[in-house]
Structure 1
Amino acid sequence: MTIPRADMRLGAFLLAAAGGVGTAFAQSPPATIDQCRGIAKDMERLACYDAFTGRAGDDRREPASSVAAESAAASAAAPADSVVAAPAALSMIDESWGFDPSSAPYEIRFHRANYVLFGRYSDNVNSAPFSPLFQSAGGDQNDLSNTEAKFQFSFKARLWATDDRRWGVWAAYTQQSQWQLYNSDVSRAFRDTNYMPELFVSYKPAIDLGGGFNWNLLSAGFNHQSNGRSDVLSRSWNRLFAEVGVERDSLALSAKAWYRLPEDAGTDDNPDITDYYGHGEISALYRWRGNSFAAMARGNLSTGKGAVQLGWFSPPILGPLRGYVQVFSGYGETLIDYNWKQNTIGVGIALSDGF
């Protein structure tokens, strides 16, 4: 609060006047206390008592100039003391992985992208795995439609974290489905659904790599992926993996490597799956003016087979919902298609972009 100049001048005058009266009595103190009782003015009577008891008015009062200066200094300092610094914005990786020390130790977050493609078109639909089933039912092996729906939901839950949140243990689950929604000939059946539970450890190295890039993620763990089918339609594999993530402003880059755990040759549904999926993948996400642009590439250099996926997430159009376009080219869009090459494009909505 600012003290008005008039009040400051009045206070200084009164203090100076009291000091002057006190000084006068200090120079010739009263002989008896009765002399003080007879003084009509309050300030002069108080100064008389002080002089008689040996307490000088100047000793117990600060000069008016000091009071005014301290008041002005306090007024000037008050606004600065009341300013609260705005919290620093979290990076993409910090926000996605809960590395903020103020985040809850146990929480559930989005993991991979969450979306629904109302329409997804393939230029080369894979009917081969279903041929024995179609033939035994007396149907056409080409009964599958090129157009279907596709959706994915993915989340992770932190089970434990250090006080600074740099270390964490997570469990995650991702499910992706291809649905012949517009194909009444096959009773609008789900063509394939992939289930992927994971368990992993995350760590924030927080290392400046130069050029504006920071190494903010290191994770390692185990995942199982299968389609829950039997006989000729069964697909599954188990992997150990490690992932690193770096970022700069609105750009995040990640690289993941995996090792497939061996299975018994007699029960392995897809012994050559790494010929098509390879041993790792690289991903990128860039955010610009509310848009998100995603890219993923994986493959096996020795076989020359792999896949590329691109995605565009629009700014929010209704609450958290965003428009989403996905393009895929290569092998293994889903486990049933792990050794099948196709080009697809889909349009729908998304809740998260993978970060």
Structure 2
Amino acid sequence: MQPVTLSPWPPIRQIIFCLSPTIPPRRQGVTDYEDRDLDNIEVQFQLSVQVPVWRGFLGSASFMSVAYTNRSFWQAYNSDDSAPFRETNHEPELILTWLNDWSLFGWHNVANQIAFNHQSNGRSEPYSRSWNRIYANFIFERDNFSIGLKPWYRIPEAREDDDNPDIEHYLGHFELGGRYRDGDHSIAIMVRNNLRSDNRGAVELTWGFPLGKRVDGYIRYFNGYGESLIDYDESVQTLGFGFTLAQGF
């Protein structure tokens, strides 16, 4: 999966495709997979679209966007089980962005965001997973470096309707991302932590490099919780390589 970009102002339309073989978790915490022989190699496919719908809603430096991400985990080489899609996650968002130009200790706060985010796997009980969040995103740049701090608040649900009441114990309340870019190459890191005594979180490292005019390759390592919604409470380790295709129109 391509790391979330720290740039807050995409083209009018942006579509990103990701294809990445990975090593999925060997142990599954969901009963409908216990009797399946899952392959250690699977394909991740991601489609992301973000479209600004209202420019200048609170001044000339602001705009509102709607976004949607679909991420699928495909057992493409598992011919014994007819190559099923193990999990698909859906993530629609409404994002408010304000561009900025003030500085702090040499870092430029280029933009700030507030967003409503819904994430679910679109399945019925007992395999349904979903949650709603309101998050902020504070984006800073300095020379070739970018940093984004993304804290969130989970919108409470009635306990009898909550598919995953303890998801914050594993995904925490914030995400910290950083990126260094040197020409067409980039190195990115993402960190999550629950800041609890039973410490849990995740770290993601990605090296991006050019393959063509609109094609970038990447190598990605992920370790921790929240790789997919169905396994949010399982610690997984994945190593992947793949490519992204980006098209603005």
Query: TM-score when scaled to structure 2?
Result: 0.90
Residues 291-310 of structure 1, C-alpha deviations (whole Å, 9 max, x = no match): 11111000101130010011
For 1:47-196, what aligned pairs fall within 5 Å after superposition? 96-97=8-9, 107-109=12-14, 114-117=17-20, 119-122=21-24, 124-129=25-30, 131=31, 133=32, 141-162=35-56, 165-196=60-91
Aligned to 2:235: 341
Aligned to 1:199: 94
Could you tell me whether the CA contact under 8 Å between 2:44 and 2:71 is conserved in 1? yes
How far did 1:324 drift? 1.2
Aligned to 2:132: 238
SS in 2 for 1:325: strand
Question: If you compute each CA radius of gyration, which structure gives the higher value, 1 or 2?
Answer: 1
- Structure with bigger RCO (C-alpha 8 Å, 6+ apart): 2
How far did 1:282 drift? 0.4
- State which of 138, 155, 164 in structure 2 corresponds to 1:261: 155
Could you tell me whether the CA contact under 8 Å between 1:126 and 1:337 is conserved in 2? no
Could you tell me whether the CA contact under 8 Å between 2:190 and 2:204 is conserved in 1? yes
Could you tell me whether the CA contact under 8 Å between 1:127 and 1:142 is conserved in 2? no
Q: In 2, Cα distance between the equivalents of 1:192 and 1:232?
A: 14
SS in 2 for 1:335: coil
Q: Percent identity?
A: 39
Could you tell me whether the CA contact under 8 Å between 1:313 and 1:350 is conserved in 2? no
Q: In 1, Cα distance between the equivalents of 2:162 and 2:93?
A: 20
SS in 2 for 1:266: helix
For 1:295-310, what aligned pairs fall within 5 Å after superposition? 295-302=189-196, 303-310=198-205
How far did 1:326 drift? 1.0
SS in 1 for 2:54: strand
SS in 1 for 2:73: strand
5+ long unaligned stretches in structure 2: none
- State which of 174, 185, 205 in structure 2 corresponds to 1:280: 174
Q: In 2, Cα distance between the equivalents of 1:126 and 1:334?
A: 13
Could you tell me whether the CA contact under 8 Å between 2:194 and 2:201 is conserved in 1? yes
Could you tell me whether the CA contact under 8 Å between 1:96 and 1:109 is conserved in 2? no
Cα 1:332/1:256, change in 2 over 3 Å: same
Q: In 1, Cα distance between the equivalents of 2:134 and 2:238?
A: 29
Residues 266-302 of structure 1, C-alpha deviations (whole Å, 9 max, x = no match): 1211000000000010001211131111110001011
Residues 143-202 of structure 1, C-alpha deviations (whole Å, 9 max, x = no match): 111110012121211111129741001111111111000001221111111100000210
The count of aligned residue pairs is 240
